[in-house]
Chains A and B, each alone.
Chain A
Amino acid sequence: MKIINCPLNGPRNSSEFVHGGEVRQMPDPNNCTDKEWADYVFYSDNQIGVVTEWWLHAPSGYWFIAERHTGSDEILRTYDPSEIYTSRVEFKAKVEPSASEEVTV
């Protein structure tokens, strides 16, 4: 069983962790195109290379971020989400539709 090095709890068996998907930038949900939104929700690059992923240490309820190589399955680095998410996220109010309905999926 793989060991994952949790930034808070140290190295633990991977069975203590829950995968949370890739770290992705959400497009502006109110003003992006349908295609941009569908890309965000449904598509994943799925390439061999380093991916940035969410992992949860379930017993402590702690989310962190891991950089993992999908070819070797080696985890190169793990760190607290505050390294990436440094400030409060705000959502813009919805603008009138029409701009977002040019493209459908």
Chain B
Amino acid sequence: MNSEKRLNAPAGLLIDREKPLSFSFEGQQYSGFEGDSIASALLSNQQWLMSRSFKYHRPRAPLTMAGQDANTLVQLGGEPNVLADRQMAAEGMRIEGQNYKGTLEGDKDAYLGNFGRFMPVGFYYRSFFKPMGVWDKWEGYIRKKAGLGKIDLDFKPEYYDKKYLFTDVVVIGSGPAGLSAALKAADAGAQVLLVEEMPLLGGALTYNRFDIEGVQADSLRHELIEKVTAHAKIEVMTDTVCNAWFTDNYLPLIKGKRLYKLRAKECIVASGAYEQHVVFRNNDLPGIMLCSAVTRLMKLYAVKPGSKAVVLTGNDDGYLTALELLDNGVEVSAIVDLRPQHPWPELLGMVKQKGIKVIQNSTVYEAIPSKGNKHICGVDIRTIVAEGEVSAAGSTLDCDLLCMSAGYMPAYQLLCQAGAQLSYKDELAEFQLSGIPQGVHIAGSVNGLHTLDAVVTDGANAALRALRNLELSDEAEQPVSCQAKPNFSWPIFSHPKGKDFVDYDEDLQAKDIVNATRLGYRDVQLVKRFSTVGMGPSQGRHSALPTARLVAKSTDRTVTQTGVTTARPPFAPEKLAHVAGRIFDPRRHTAMHHRHLELGAKMIAAGNWRRPAYYGDAAQRDRWIREEAEHVRAKVGLIDVSTLGGIELRGPDAAEFMNRIYTFVFLKQPVGRTRYAVLTNEHGVVIDDGVACRIAEDHFYVTATTSGVDRVYREMTKWNAQWRLDVDILHVTSAFAAVNLAGPDSRKVLEQLVSDVDLSPEGFPYLAYREGKVADIPARLLRVGFVGELGYEIHVPARYGEALWDALMAAGKAFDIKPFGVETQRLLRLEKGHVIVSQDTDGMSHPGELDMTWAVNRKKPFFIGCRSVDIVMAQPQTRKLVGFTLPTGSTKPEEGHLVLKGDRIAGNVTSCEYSSARQAIIGLAYADITDSEPGSKISIRVDGVEIIADVVTLPFYDPENLRQEM
């Protein structure tokens, strides 16, 4: 199999005859050239059969040669559903067919086609929904029959990524309209990006014949492309599909393994039009192609499509295709013209002069298949007697190729996504687009223009509209007129025996669409969902127009009223790899992060942060937590609390601002003291808490929860945008590294490293704030009691964080210091009954439910949510957060387990852990208000079993709080 069979140059624009290649398809070796698509290479070897259809397993071959149909889906190694007419062939490729049983040639499921009448549209919906459970029985079998291709479960991820692009004007489509638009825009000084889906610029100019002599396309293509490629202001992207239009001209462009996210100031859509097929019996046989597919095959790939052709057309383009076939050595038996009228006289003259028979007012009623439906071998031609109806008898003609063109459908997808509307022009039998939004422009055949001059002018006009918006030109547009009417109004010839396909992807016949409307699905959207029309890979590129016409007719409406279904993104199938791209998953690490790793910490996520949960292997989690907790209670421990949020408030109104933001009073908070700070939202719900340090009269340093600080900072800045207080609000979380040095020996450890602060209980009492140097590092020191032991939070500039950790660990060595993790800290604070906002609170928790009324001051004029707190507190309280204990041997409830009151849900467990200090399982839970007093019992449902817990007084440990105040 070699090059002799190819047509002579200039045919074969895409192939390089100097570079032969070979590949296998279904285990058979085939040859081709570099630049061949898999499909063109196979067709050059007379291998037409490429796939089996979805439902009936009918043999299928290329229809469009442009990746616009599902007939060429093949399996390429581990990748299913590759379009053989778009994927370039490469040396050594191993390609298989898909969706067959046995072999592609001898598909054992092909018998399904004979059962077509027992599998009407909606078959699955209607057959398997009762009796109940029947679907479960059938599902496995049906799933096996459905679906295309094989997934490679050993798939190795490849590197895909994304990139932003920016331009003044983007032109989608490089046909004559797009080329003309790009040149006009660039000449006026705009930066232009020209996007082309195919490997070659030119669109229809690369394959279509516009004139009798067949010279116009090539000369115009050369002229325009030469200018475009030489233009400094035009950047060209071929092999690139624009897969959607999003707001403000944000366009995803897919090229190779990269998704470009283009932002264009102006967008010109010159996306062209899809040639449409004719609906008749067996219109899916291999050897039946669109006229444009046949000319693509010849001009782009130099493949001779057959030896004896019939052209079925509703327009003059079919005649030009016939001339093109003749020029390439294909005999044309007849042109079957759906129309009663003739084409332009010169064209008809030339066709007749070449000896081609022209049959007017007629159609192919049925294509005659060779054995096994493998190829077309003839056509049954009938006279059209009324719309969609044909004479009882006709004549047959032998052929091995049928080229068809019923007209065009604009490639409307991107424009409709931008907000344009489709309306059907009855006199033209064509959908047209209107209502194009600001910043988007339409040009060429998508705009219903079909003659070359009109298309070129229309492209320039679109550019002028874009240039006007960019204030780069005020040149007037040129008038455009186009007399061509390429659409035949009713190219649908339903056959009593069916197989007259409207939608090739989904094996839907004309009657399937009509039946859907008879079952009550009158809206085209419902017809789609019921029949699945347009849901296949080609997304209605060919089925939308005949479906609209069929639905309109059978529901007595106009085609405009019927319309087409919504064309949502993506325009063409895209891989999840493109969407995922290179994943940006920011991680935040504290300054001591690597020390934790070196110490064997089990790291867990806390928002974007990674924090040590405990130090040790996960298998012995409970043991490490218990040991770490006991160590803090008995000696001294060190925990990294750098992830705590930090906000600084500075200025004359700092205290006033604090007073308005938090529930407590801060105006008279002494300098050098800390104070617990609770934040409610306007609904009166507790949303965050922290510790406020008064560093100076006009300077507060407030901590916030790790996950809440961004929100707290935003709320603060938003409020002050309204209040206009003289206060500066600075987010300082990342500026400080911090640790909590906790345990009875913590003072002794700190004394090793601090010389400029009096650390004595009197000099630095509980809840005090001091500044000094720890191991020569400038530090902020807070005496806090979160874990219930003598302890110091030490905050230092982040760049010193690791050195601080090292110094404390070294100084603590003599006191057997051990690091502890955040899970241990949660247990320690639970023993002290301290609430973690967002773990122990929910979207309804007000201060009363949390026993926090002591931290709410209602004498001051205002705090956020004050009025809501008043309102909820005035109402009878229904639930309360309580402490409970369970005997050591009980099943441990998990967070979220329900607290029941009779058959009613009273609340849920929010925290629960085994406490060795208490020798019991301890926890916090929301309980009914009547069960909230110590001594009450609450019922917790754990894995379906109710267990009874004792409500106890908080805290669980050191009720006098003596240890933290040492």
Say which residue of A61, A73, A94 sits within 8 Å of B731 (CB atoms).
A61
Say which residue of A34, A61, A82, A92 sits within 8 Å of B871 (CB atoms).
A34
| Chain B residue nearest to A18 in the complex (CB) | B714
| Chain B residue nearest to A21 in the complex (CB) | B718
Give the distance in Å from the alpha carbon of A2 to the alpha carbon of B246 in the complex: 8
Q: Which residues of A contact B721 (CB under 8 A)?
A: 54, 63, 81, 85
Contact of B861 with A37 in the complex, beta carbons under 8 Å = no
Contact A37 B868, CB 8 Å, known A1-B247, A54-B718, A85-B721 = yes
Q: Which residues of B contact A101 (CB under 8 A)?
A: 874
Say which residue of A1, A30, A92 sits within 8 Å of B246 (CB atoms).
A1
Determine which residue in B713, B722, B725 has the highest number of CB atoms from chain A within 10 A of its CB, and name it: B722
Give the distance in Å from the alpha carbon of A86 to the alpha carbon of B247 in the complex: 34
A99 at interface, CB cutoff 8 A: no
- Closest Cβ of chain A to B723, distance in Å, is 4
Contact of A29 with B866 in the complex, beta carbons under 8 Å = yes
Say which residue of A38, A41, A87 sits within 8 Å of B724 (CB atoms).
A87
Per-position contact with B for A21-56: 1 when CB-CB < 8 Å, else 0?
000000001101010011011100000000000101
Q: Which residues of A contact B247 (CB under 8 A)?
A: 1-3, 73
Contact of A56 with B718 in the complex, beta carbons under 8 Å = yes
Contact of A89 with B724 in the complex, beta carbons under 8 Å = yes
- Closest Cβ of chain B to A97, distance in Å, is 8
Contact of A37 with B723 in the complex, beta carbons under 8 Å = no
| Chain A residue nearest to B710 in the complex (CB) | A58
Contact of A30 with B862 in the complex, beta carbons under 8 Å = yes
Q: Which residues of B contact A37 (CB under 8 A)?
A: 867-868, 871
| Chain A residue nearest to B729 in the complex (CB) | A61
Contact of B718 with A41 in the complex, beta carbons under 8 Å = no
Say which residue of B246, B718, B722, B862 sits within 8 Å of A29 (CB atoms).
B862
B717 at interface, CB cutoff 8 A: yes
Contact of A20 with B718 in the complex, beta carbons under 8 Å = yes
Q: Which residues of A contact B725 (CB under 8 A)?
A: 88
* B-contacting residues, A4-22, CB 8 Å: 13, 18, 20
- Closest Cβ of chain B to A80, distance in Å, is 9
Q: Which residues of A contact B871 (CB under 8 A)?
A: 34, 37-38, 105
Q: Which residues of B contact A13 (CB under 8 A)?
A: 250
Contact of A56 with B714 in the complex, beta carbons under 8 Å = yes
- Closest Cβ of chain A to B562, distance in Å, is 26
Per-position contact with A for B637-668: 1 when CB-CB < 8 Å, else 0?
00000000000000000000000100000000
Q: Which residues of A contact B263 (CB under 8 A)?
A: 3
Contact of A61 with B248 in the complex, beta carbons under 8 Å = no
- Closest Cβ of chain B to A78, distance in Å, is 14
Contact of A30 with B867 in the complex, beta carbons under 8 Å = yes
Contact of B717 with A61 in the complex, beta carbons under 8 Å = yes
Say which residue of A30, A82, A91 sits within 8 Å of B660 (CB atoms).
A91
B747 at interface, CB cutoff 8 A: no
- Closest Cβ of chain B to A55, distance in Å, is 10
| Chain B residue nearest to A65 in the complex (CB) | B721
B682 at interface, CB cutoff 8 A: yes
Q: Which residues of B contact A42 (CB under 8 A)?
A: 683
Contact A88 B867, CB 8 Å, known A2-B248, A63-B717 = no
| Chain A residue nearest to B653 in the complex (CB) | A88
- Closest Cβ of chain B to A87, distance in Å, is 6
Contact A81 B867, CB 8 Å, known A2-B247, A92-B861 = no
- Closest Cβ of chain B to A105, distance in Å, is 8
Q: Which residues of A contact B731 (CB under 8 A)?
A: 61
Contact A93 B861, CB 8 Å, known A1-B247, A1-B248, A81-B721 = yes
- Closest Cβ of chain A to B497, distance in Å, is 51
| Chain A residue nearest to B731 in the complex (CB) | A61
Per-position contact with A for B718-734: 1 when CB-CB < 8 Å, else 0?
10011111000001000
Per-position contact with B for A93-104: 1 when CB-CB < 8 Å, else 0?
110000001000
Q: Which residues of B contact A41 (CB under 8 A)?
A: 682-683, 868
Contact of B724 with A85 in the complex, beta carbons under 8 Å = yes
- Closest Cβ of chain A to B365, distance in Å, is 50
- Closest Cβ of chain B to A26, distance in Å, is 8
* A32-B867, A94-B861 known, 11 other contacts, Cβ within 8 Å: A1-B248, A3-B248, A20-B718, A29-B862, A29-B866, A30-B867, A37-B871, A56-B717, A87-B724, A91-B862, A94-B859
A interface, CB within 8 angstroms of B: 1-3, 13, 18, 20, 29-30, 32, 34, 37-38, 40-42, 54, 56, 61, 63, 73, 81-82, 85-89, 91-94, 101, 105
17 CB-based A-B contacts, threshold 8 Å: A1-B247, A1-B250, A2-B248, A13-B250, A32-B867, A41-B682, A42-B683, A61-B731, A63-B717, A63-B721, A81-B721, A81-B722, A85-B721, A86-B724, A87-B724, A89-B722, A94-B858
Which 8 residue pairs of A and B lie closest in terms of their CB atoms, listed nearest first? Answer: A91-B862, A29-B867, A91-B861, A81-B721, A89-B723, A3-B248, A63-B721, A2-B247
